Amino acid sequence: MTSAITRERQPAPRIRDALELVRIARSLRRDTINLVAPTGQGYVQQGLGAADLFAVLYFAELRLDPSDPHWTDRDRFLLSTAHNTAIFYATLAARGMVDAAAVADYCKDGSVFEVNASERIGTPVEATLGSLGQGLSVGIGMALTARRRGSSARIYVLLGDGELQEGQLWEAALFAGSAGLSNLCLIVDDNRMQVEGHIDKVVSVAPIAEKFSAFGWVAEEIDGHDILALLAALDRARERDKPTCLVAATLAGKGVPSLEGILAHNLKLPPDVAAEALAALGDAEEAK
């Protein structure tokens, strides 16, 4: 058996400058708008809200090597909310893990860059998910495998708060806590939005952190738009002997004032709204 590569291998410098990560997140928001604008429909609100999470994960936290996507001891990222792809694909392109020109065919007939991310894209999509509530179970399997191999790989799962209404997820959470999977980090995109409306008006899942703590995890509530808080929380997660759950409060439509707080699961984005959104993000960038 090939020996595990230690975590000292760092294929590319991790960005730790908060202002640079803020700039990257803003750029990802613009890319998200540009991907959805041609068809006028897509998961804009979730993407804008999760941009800071993706910027920190892909540019500061995950150990990946775009020149060697099959690197055995790479960190794994699983997007359990597999429909939130505009921000995901924009991030993969910006990180150099997929071809940016190909991503521009987002949702066009025949494109592998479908609304729901699938392994048709290749290694950057570690698993085909989409049936909500299953991402954590897949991540647990990967975390167990990495531990048994003696691999340094860490597993990161991003899921939406609405997925916490799925029973399978809590079975998975119970197992992960019992197994002490310290190489597993779950990030809950707590935007309080699901297809039926505000999460509390459908099935309330609060208090999230307390529930995961009771299941043997270390759980923290953080501001999902506070770059420094995200960096510090992920640093702490690497030092634990238990799995970590970060409940990251995010704002749907973040970065575009006219869209912020609008609970639209699949927002229609007519040309005038797209232009307004890009202008707002551009103005914000110039003001920095």
List the chain pLDDT tens, one digit each, 288 residues: 333 434 455 556 689 899 999 999 999 999 999 999 988 877 898 999 999 999 999 999 999 999 999 999 999 999 999 889 999 999 999 999 999 999 999 988 889 999 889 999 999 999 999 788 899 999 999 999 999 999 999 999 999 999 999 999 999 999 999 999 999 999 999 988 766 667 777 788 899 999 999 999 999 999 999 999 999 999 999 999 999 999 999 999 999 998 898 877 566 788 888 999 999 999 544 433
Q: How many CB atoms lie within 10 A of CB 279?
A: 11
Determine, yes or no, domain membership for 7.
no
Asked whether residue 200 is domain-assigned, the answer is yes
DSSP annotation of 266? T
| Residue listed under structure tokens 């959470």 | 173
Residue of 286, 280, 288, 269 lying closest to 34 (CA atoms): 269
pLDDT of residue 12: 61
Residues 30/281, Cβ–Cβ less than 8 Å: yes
Q: Is residue 5 part of a domain?
A: no
Nearest to 75 by CA among 116, 148, 124: 124
Within-domain flag for 213: yes
- Is 132 within the bounds of a domain? yes
DSSP 284: H
Number of domains in the chain: 1
Q: Taking a C-beta distance cutoff of 8 angstroms, is the pair 89, 98 a contact? A: yes
Structural tokens at position 131: 């049936």
**The tokens of 126 are what?**
């570690």
pLDDT computed for residue 119 by the predictor: 94
Query: Residue 125: inside a domain, yes or no?
Result: yes
CATH label of the domain that carries residue 182: 3.40.50.970
Residues in the chain: 288
101, burial (CB in 10 Å: exposed 0-12, middle 13-18, buried 19+): exposed
Q: Is residue 12 part of a domain?
A: no
Residue 51 lies in a domain: yes
Residue span of the structural domain in which 98 resides: 18-287
CA-to-CA distance for 49 and 46, rounded, in angstroms? 5
